[in-house]
Amino acid sequence: MIDPTARIHPSADLEADVVVGSGTSIWHRAQVRTGARIGAECVIGRDVFIDEGVEIGDRTKIQNLALVYHGVTVEDGVFIGPGAILTNDRFPRAITSTGELARADDWTVSPIRLRHGASIGAGAVVVAGTEVGAFATVGAGAVVTRDVPSHALVVGSPARRIGWMCACGVRLLDADGVPAVANLPHYSTHPELHCPSCGRTYVYVPDADALEERPRPQQGVPA
């Protein structure tokens, strides 16, 4: 079912049993395979490939030439940069052990999940069987081979965590006012991380190796 408010470019190829939500735009030469579900207010760029059964939440942006394969689940508010690739086969082979062409029953899908608000940089590769946490950021060209914690900033190949990100997309600063790194001993005594843009404050939880957002005081209420 395609919502009547969705905008589908004439050159886009949508197969049967595709769902497209209200206000979503699908641009030039994008291909959406059967059973895919695309939420409301999404932007699907030029030459994007969305494989069969892929689920995409609301207000997600998938930029030009990105490839999103079967087994991927994308939650709301996710950004997938141009040329990014989300795979689904941890141990790919074109042929079986006996030399025959591999078919659908000859391999196992290893799913990927991108959590709410995550960002995947241009040209990054997310390897099958991994999860990218909420509001995490995968740097351009990174290769993600293991799970990425929420709010983490990862770069490189294989991707490694180098810092922490605010929900607004800005790198967090530590108590000394410098960009927070993956982990430091003094975080146990000075665990607060601050956003220089929107003012959010997070607390580093060493046992969980994760961040928790500290509630902001309501306007007019003392902190």
Domain of residue 7: give its range. Answer: 1-165
Q: Are both 108 and 7 inside the same structural domain?
A: yes
Tell which of 165, 190, 210 closes a domain.
165
Q: Which candidate, 79, 88, 85, places its Cα nearest to that of 65?
A: 85
Neighbour count for residue 111 (Cβ, 10 Å): 14
Residue 223 neighbours by CB distance under 10 Å: 5
Verify that 180 and 70 share a domain, yes or no: no
Cα–Cα dist 218/150, whole Å: 25
Query: 97: which 2 tokens?
Result: 């052990």
Among 38-47, 177-186, 189-198, 200-209, whose mean pLDDT is lowest?
177-186
Same domain, residue pair 179 and 141: no
Residue 69 shares a structural domain with residue 39: yes
Both 92 and 45 in one domain: the answer is yes
User: Which string of DSSP letters, residue by residue, matches 110-143?
Assistant: --EEE-TT-EE-TT-EE-TT-EE-TT-EEPTT-E
Q: Which of 26-35, 96-105, 133-142, 199-208 has the lowest mean pLDDT?
A: 199-208
pLDDT in tens, 128-169: 999 999 999 999 999 999 999 999 999 999 999 999 999 999
Per-residue burial over 71-87, b = 16 or more CB atoms within 10 Å of its CB, e = otherwise: bbbbbbbbbbbbbbbbb
Are both 147 and 212 inside the same structural domain?
Answer: no
The CATH number of residue 69's host domain is 2.160.10.10
Provide the domain count of the chain. 2
141 lies in the same domain as 186: no
Distance CA 95, CA 79 (A): 34
Question: Is this structure's pTM higher than 0.85?
Answer: yes
Note whether 24 and 69 are same-domain residues. Answer: yes
Strand order in the sheet with 143-144: 13-14, 31-32, 49-50, 67-68, 85-86, 125-126, 143-144
Mean pLDDT estimate for the chain: 91
